[in-house]
């Protein structure tokens, strides 16, 4: 089958570009130095590609992601980098603790209570290092670790996410800010103990040499999006939502890739050689740049999403193709939902 034969909208992964990204990252952060974030693709087949390059420890955002990875037999060490207090989901994780190493992020006595009641054995103290989201005040991190130990839990270390620094453009400034944030995390780590100091993301992946960080939680690097694409990182766009042109007018054309097929929180997607006017539920309206031939009804267009994580979560299937457009595999996006 060829990409031109797929029913559209079709999420298409270029396997060579994906592998190029995975190899670039593995060369900088080999093995356990990278804990790939599953939330960026929600696809166990893609995670298996990451595992084949030597990464066996994964970051997950939801219990379902961890359970699905274990079911698929991909990875053997999971960090739930998210606060969960739902007893049923925590119990489901506790039930598979003998199948894989599972550590759950905690940032309060309440999250510790929930983890303890469910029988979770290992925790990581999630420390706020600047992004106003989860993560405890660094000053109480040691107290939380003590509380975990009193409850009989193993404290595996600390994590933090300096998400507010991913998009800083000046590299020297970014490095300075990341080191400042990681300084806070390292100080918390002294109070907490444990082997893990987990942080970072695609936008900062190469800024941790010489810091306390033992592993980086990057995810977007594998498939990329136009938002991260503007940062000059050594990763290339490897996923598109392929659409069919269904209408052509003198000033615009319309393809069947709409906002139900695209994560829109970072704005409109991009079509090379064209200007995107706007997205509707099932459509993108766009116009060719000067010099780009006018599209014809039936043409395929490759729409690059502005934000890869939610885009993946909207599709049932990733079609895996080579540079000639030959479809080599169908990967279920099997970790969707909650």
Among 23, 137, 173, 289, binds a copy of itself (CB under 8 A): 137
Please, which residue, 25 or 279, has the CB nearer to a copy of itself? Answer: 279
| Sheet of 122-126, strand order | 57-60, 77-80, 101-106, 122-126, 154-159, 196-199, 215-216
Collapsed DSSP state (helix, strand, coil) of residue 172 = helix
274-279 and 284-288: which strand pairing?
antiparallel
Cis peptide leading into residue 221 (ω within 30°): no
Told to check if 332 binds a copy of itself by CB under 8 A, we report: no
Which stretch in 25-33, 171-179, 210-218, 254-262 sits in contact with a copy of itself by CB under 8 A? 254-262
Contact code string over 39-68 relative to a copy of itself, x by CB under 8 A? x---------------------xx------
Told to check if 199 binds a copy of itself by CB under 8 A, we report: no
300-304 and 196-199: which strand pairing?
unpaired
CA 71 – CA 93 distance, rounded (Å) = 12
Told to check if 313 binds a copy of itself by CB under 8 A, we report: yes
- In whole angstroms, the minimum distance from the beta carbon of 54 to a copy of itself comes to 26
Contacts by residues 139-145 (CB-CB < 8 Å, ≥ 24 positions apart): 141/188, 141/191, 141/192, 142/188, 142/191, 142/192, 144/106, 144/107, 144/108, 144/109, 144/112, 144/192, 145/191, 145/192, 145/193, 145/194
Q: Specify whether the CB–CB gap between 289 and 306 falls below 8 A.
A: no
Please, which residue, 23 or 137, has the CB nearer to a copy of itself? Answer: 137
Which tokens sit at 25?
A: 């990252």
Which stretch in 49-57, 150-158, 204-212, 304-312 sits in contact with a copy of itself by CB under 8 A? 304-312
Among 28, 231, 248, 327, binds a copy of itself (CB under 8 A): 248
Among 24, 56, 101, 277, binds a copy of itself (CB under 8 A): 277
Phi and psi of 196, rounded to 5°? -95, 130
Told to check if 140 binds a copy of itself by CB under 8 A, we report: no
Q: Given the rule CB under 8 A, which residues bind a copy of itself?
A: 7-9, 39, 61-62, 82-86, 88-89, 107-108, 110-111, 128, 132-135, 137, 163, 244, 246-249, 251-252, 254, 256, 259-261, 263-265, 277, 279-283, 285, 297-298, 307, 309-310, 313-314, 316, 337-338
């Amino acid at each position: 089958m060829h990409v031109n034969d797929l029913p559209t909208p079709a999420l298409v992964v270029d396997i060579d570009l994906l592998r190029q990204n995975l190899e670039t990252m593995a060369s900088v952060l080999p093995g356990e130095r990278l804990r790939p974030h599953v939330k960026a693709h929600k696809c166990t087949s893609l995670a298996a590609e990451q595992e084949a390059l030597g990464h066996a420890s994964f970051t997950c955002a939801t219990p379902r992601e961890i359970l699905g990875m274990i079911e698929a037999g991909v990875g053997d060490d999971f960090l739930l980098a998210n606060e969960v207090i739902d007893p049923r989901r925590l119990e489901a994780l506790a039930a598979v603790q003998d199948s894989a190493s599972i550590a759950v992020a905690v940032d309060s006595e309440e999250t510790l209570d929930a983890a303890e009641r469910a029988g979770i054995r290992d925790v990581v103290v999630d420390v706020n290092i600047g992004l106003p989201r989860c993560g405890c005040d660094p000053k109480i991190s040691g107290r939380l670790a003590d509380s975990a130990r009193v409850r009989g839990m193993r404290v595996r270390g600390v994590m933090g996410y300096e998400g507010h620094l991913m998009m800083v453009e000046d590299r020297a400034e970014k490095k300075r800010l990341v080191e400042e944030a990681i300084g806070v995390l390292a100080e918390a780590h002294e109070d907490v103990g444990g082997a893990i100091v987990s942080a970072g993301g695609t936008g900062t992946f190469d800024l941790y040499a010489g810091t306390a960080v033992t592993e980086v939680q990057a995810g977007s690097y594998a498939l990329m999006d136009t938002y991260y694409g503007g940062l000059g990182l050594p990763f290339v766009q490897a996923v598109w939502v392929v659409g069919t042109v269904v209408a052509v007018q003198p000033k615009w054309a319309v393809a069947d890739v709409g906002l139900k097929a695209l994560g829109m929180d970072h704005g409109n997607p991009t079509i090379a050689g064209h200007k995107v006017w706007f997205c509707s539920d099932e459509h993108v309206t766009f116009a060719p740049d000067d010099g780009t031939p006018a599209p014809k009804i039936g043409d395929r267009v490759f729409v690059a999403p502005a934000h890869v994580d939610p885009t993946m979560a909207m599709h049932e299937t990733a079609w895996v193709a080579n540079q000639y457009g030959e479809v080599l595999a169908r990967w279920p996006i099997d970790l969707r939902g909650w």
